[in-house]
Amino acid sequence: MPSNLTWNLTGLLLVIFLAIPPEGCADIYRYVDAHGVVHFTDTPTSGAYHFYMKEKRSKDAKGSVVDLIEHYAKVFNLDDALIRAVIKVESDYNPHALSSKGAQGLMQLIPETARDMNVSDPYNPAQNIRGGSRYLRQMLDQFGDDLELALAAYNAGPSAVKRYGGIPPFAETQHYVEKVKKFYRHYQQQEETTL
């Protein structure tokens, strides 16, 4: 017959096992403070938090990003491989990316551009991809569908491209244009091989 110690260890292990959520989901807890402010967490720090809902986390967060890219590529008449290339170079698909110059999110929108593109939350992938795609379309339209000039304008601003009459002599911008073109070709080839 098992000892009490064995049962206690078995019970403890069972409690620990049940307390660890399965991969891909978490419990969300909610707490309303004395000022009416609602707080959410997946790790409650006091008994004031109560279970609110179970969160499902996608194992492949890029799946939804791919859908957004395809959608906004159609909306703004862009090649989705181009949007993918810009996102790869700008943020490497990190929706929380923040540059030293204040550019935010997947397509690294600076606050002024985000406002101009009606993006209120640049860290929201849907808003960011919509705003970045719209801005990319504007740059292509402004520079007669010249991809290199549009990419240079996306990086350095359209006024810099106009001032220099082409790609500005900034190493960062020149490198950026070449890098986006490289990933653009790569993503186009990927699409061709899947057809």
Residue 38 three-state SS: strand
**Does 90 qualify as catalytic in the annotation?**
yes
Closest-CA residue to 44 (of 23, 27, 21): 27
- Asked if residues 83 and 136 have their Cβ atoms less than 8 Å apart, the reply is yes
CA dihedral sign, ordered 74, 76, 79, 80: negative
Closest-CA residue to 83 (of 103, 62, 101, 99): 62
Catalytic residue among 90, 148, 172, 178: 90
All residues at 6 or more sequence positions from 131 whose CB lies less than 8 Å from its CB, including other chains: 107, 109, 113, 114, 117, 118, 119, 122
- Alpha helices for 52-124 (secondary structure H): 62-75, 80-91, 111-116
- Asked if residues 125 and 107 have their Cβ atoms less than 8 Å apart, the reply is no
Catalytic residue ranges: 90
